[in-house]
Chain A
């Protein structure tokens, strides 16, 4: 995509693009600055652009001062951090394994009504999560899955599955089938065609799919809001609860939390720039 840009731009064009990029990015920049301000500087009017940076906020994410003693007590945030990693990690791995198999099936061994299956699968991803969550909430309450890791991981696996299937299918569809057919002619088993020929060719696709699924799950809010409890709470929920009080919201603390969120996202956005479109449209638009 990068190589096929329309033409070279002049000085003014570059300058405008630079300015626009900066303005567009400004809200994020402001949050990053807020994360490094101390409490007084955060509340200052007009906003202080120059201040001595502090890591206070980052420390307070994990430890807050107790109201009675001078000791610092844990906020439990490291647990939410772990929960987010564990829950999204597990569900992405599960969804990727099941999804890749299904994508290969849909791509290479189409069934009768292949399109219909794919449509239904995409619809389960497109439909508003609020509809799914109502029965799930009731069922989880009946079966005791509410608040457990198993429950939320199951939910997220299902949440990631349609995405993984469509995304991986779009990668499998792009492969040249001649190599596979040649291997089959030479008597290679279906298993070695899949593991030996197809999978190595879609390695980049697997990486992109898993990273996108990770981010989608990592960011997810509604399911986690209703299906987790104090011990299985995830990061977005912990953040939303911090803001819940309306009065005396500690924006410095929130900003620091968002900063922790931002680092991996920058990296991913940069590394996957050419796959971004495919990722956010569930593989329906390839370029």
Chain B
């Protein structure tokens, strides 16, 4: 880089190296993410429907008021909370148990790990199709299993509670491997001599677990809960394909509600307002997540 003159030279000055390197990335993010987001933030203060030609009409906090006053969004938040609690809960318990199982060395471990880790690399669409087939009332395995006892077809997705359970199982199946992987990382970082010392001192299994194993995986467990909560909070694809929010609105999560409001009812500015309530929650959770990451990094140094 030998041009020392003019604009190019000014631009390539070592002082500007950092900004120059990140400029393209910032540009793309601004263009495709941040500006559209600000635009829709502005839109959330107007009355606007994308399927009508009427010009947007400024209305202050009308959309936010309307959204927050309606039962719908609280119901959707509640549904999402149930799915998050159920799915993340199952993931943590099963993931922890699986990690304990795989923390030891045995033949074919790598292959078995691959089999267990496969679900989390799958498309949500594929997972939804797996479980749709699994829950299928006529020849689905679940229905046939229940049929052996009751003699009747079993339609899990037909009842509100059943549909919620169906979605939770599908999501938990896909993401338990993630928690397992995190916990496994914590388990293998426990110094071996601690276990040896515990064995010599004849410490009980439970005490070994609470005083040696658990402290090493605690921060990773917290990270797993936060990360999965953020991700499950956004759950859309699986619900959309598996139940389409039904029966009724029993599995209508917040993302599905925003989708329906925006692209089926075309209440565009209304959905933008909902989106910003959602965004606020995710930003809080994300900063919490990064805070824990930092704490953990500084502990290790």
Q: Which of B125, B188, B289 contacts A240 (CB 8 A)?
A: B125
**A5 at the binding interface (Cβ < 8 Å):** yes
- In the assembled complex, the Cα of A8 lies from the Cα of B276 at a distance in Å of 51
Chain A 35-66, CB-CB to B under 8 Å as 1, else 0, gives 00000001111110000000000000000000
CB within 8 Å of A: which B58-107 residues: 98, 101-107
Known contacts A131-B276, A258-B126; decide if A123 and B114 are in contact (CB<8 Å). no
**B158 at the binding interface (Cβ < 8 Å):** no
Q: Which of B22, B105, B125, B181 contacts A5 (CB 8 A)?
A: B105
- Which residues of chain A come closer than 8 Å to B189, judged between CB atoms? 4, 287
**B156 at the binding interface (Cβ < 8 Å):** no
B119 near A7 with CB under 8 A, answer no
A7 near B181 with CB under 8 A, answer no
B141 near A30 with CB under 8 A, answer yes
**A111 at the binding interface (Cβ < 8 Å):** yes
- Which residues of chain A come closer than 8 Å to B285, judged between CB atoms? 126
A99 to nearest B CB, angstroms?
A: 6
A265 near B107 with CB under 8 A, answer no
- In the assembled complex, the Cα of A104 lies from the Cα of B111 at a distance in Å of 35
CB within 8 Å of A: which B103-117 residues: 103-117
A-B contact pairs, 14 of them (CB 8 A): A6-B188, A6-B190, A13-B106, A14-B108, A17-B106, A24-B98, A27-B173, A28-B119, A111-B19, A123-B283, A128-B255, A240-B241, A255-B129, A261-B122
- Which residues of chain A come closer than 8 Å to B24, judged between CB atoms? 98, 101-102
B29 near A124 with CB under 8 A, answer yes
**A285 at the binding interface (Cβ < 8 Å):** yes
**A191 at the binding interface (Cβ < 8 Å):** yes
- Which residues of chain B come closer than 8 Å to A221, judged between CB atoms? 123-125, 237, 240
- Which residues of chain A come closer than 8 Å to B192, judged between CB atoms? 6-7
Known contacts A265-B118, A277-B182; decide if A236 and B282 are in contact (CB<8 Å). no
A280 near B22 with CB under 8 A, answer no
**B200 at the binding interface (Cβ < 8 Å):** no
B29 to nearest A CB, angstroms?
A: 6
Chain B 255-271, CB-CB to A under 8 Å as 1, else 0, gives 10011001100001001
A105 near B286 with CB under 8 A, answer no
B105 near A45 with CB under 8 A, answer no
A34 near B141 with CB under 8 A, answer no
B80 to nearest A CB, angstroms?
A: 11
**A20 at the binding interface (Cβ < 8 Å):** yes
- In the assembled complex, the Cα of A108 lies from the Cα of B19 at a distance in Å of 11
Chain B 12-26, CB-CB to A under 8 Å as 1, else 0, gives 001001111110111
B32 near A158 with CB under 8 A, answer yes
Known contacts A17-B102, A135-B36, A273-B113; decide if A27 and B144 are in contact (CB<8 Å). no
**B133 at the binding interface (Cβ < 8 Å):** yes
Q: Which of A28, A108, A109 contacts B118 (CB 8 A)?
A: A28
- In the assembled complex, the Cα of A119 lies from the Cα of B123 at a distance in Å of 27
B227 to nearest A CB, angstroms?
A: 6
Q: Which of B98, B144, B195, B278 contacts A45 (CB 8 A)?
A: B144
B278 to nearest A CB, angstroms?
A: 6
**B33 at the binding interface (Cβ < 8 Å):** yes
A262 to nearest B CB, angstroms?
A: 8
